């Protein structure tokens, strides 16, 4: 995406990781971006400062997207500030690592709520905000939606449901000129020391691209799906993993 001047975007989970990388990419193209977050005020302030000097503008709004009332408030602020919306990128996620047999229903329900609530409860309002614009809705998913990742059952179930919802929304919103797609990725290299180095090395070694996926890799494809040239891509799950999912074992 080379030019998003005059366009507006909301990125959920936009103050860290993939969400922040997406916000940076859109802001660099000139978009006015609202970064949604739920908890960490310090990270939110740091995220906005990190986008200073880019052609677009950036602001944060604190709203738990799993709460329909809070999400309505977020969209209300978008309407008040900008009058409409061009891009909605859903990057928020929640999961509790645990084996399948040891997972609590509450953990799965929380993951499902974060993954689905914005698009289920907010689809009508998102569509209204995008009327008359080339609206783009992009969800961030993971390979755990289709493959078994140890300890990832709550996240995997939620992402599988999210991918199904993307297809259903795509079919219903296509007639309004709004595209709905998702990007799916493998283990992300967050460069924050949160994962064991040996694990990261092993995963990088089995990736044909020779390294792990970074937030910027994902952000680039999200930007592609938001571009005018992507207007005829609809209801697709685009895998962004450097070929990690290609080998049979």
- Catalytically annotated residues: 152, 159
Gap between the Cα atoms of 246 and 242, Å rounded: 9
Q: Chain-centre distance of CA 135, in angstroms?
A: 15
Gap between the Cα atoms of 91 and 3, Å rounded: 22
Gap between the Cα atoms of 164 and 237, Å rounded: 10
| 173: enclosing H helix or E strand | helix 153-173
Contacts of 188-196 with CB under 8 Å at 24 or more apart are 188/17, 188/18, 188/212, 188/213, 188/214, 188/215, 188/218, 189/213, 189/214, 190/17, 190/215
DSSP designation for 188: B
111-126 per-residue burial string, b: 16 or more CB within 10 A, e: under 16: bbbbbbbbbebbbebb
């Amino acid at each position: 995406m080379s030019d998003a001047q005059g366009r507006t975007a909301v990125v959920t989970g936009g103050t860290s990781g993939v969400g922040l990388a997406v916000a940076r990419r859109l802001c660099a193209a000139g978009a006015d971006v609202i970064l949604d977050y739920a908890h960490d005020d310090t990270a939110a302030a740091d995220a906005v400062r990190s986008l200073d000097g880019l052609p677009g503008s950036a602001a944060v709004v604190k709203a738990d997207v799993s709460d329909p009332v809070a999400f309505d408030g977020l969209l209300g602020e978008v309407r008040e500030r900008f009058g409409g919306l061009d891009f909605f990128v859903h990057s928020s996620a929640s999961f509790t690592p645990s084996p399948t047999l040891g997972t609590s229903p509450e953990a799965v329900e929380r993951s499902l709520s974060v993954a689905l609530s914005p698009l289920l409860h907010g689809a009508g309002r998102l569509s209204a905000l995008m009327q008359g614009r080339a609206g783009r809705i992009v969800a961030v998913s993971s390979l755990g939606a289709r493959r078994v990742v140890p300890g990832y059952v709550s996240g995997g179930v939620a992402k599988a449901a999210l991918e199904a919802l993307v297809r259903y929304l795509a079919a219903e919103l296509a007639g309004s000129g709004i595209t709905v797609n998702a990007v799916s990725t493998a283990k992300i290299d967050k460069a924050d020391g949160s994962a064991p180095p040996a694990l990261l090395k092993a995963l990088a070694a089995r990736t044909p691209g020779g390294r792990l996926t970074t937030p910027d890799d994902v952000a680039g494809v999200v930007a592609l799906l938001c571009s005018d040239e992507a207007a005829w891509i609809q209801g697709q799950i685009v895998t962004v993993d450097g070929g990690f999912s290609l080998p049979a074992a």
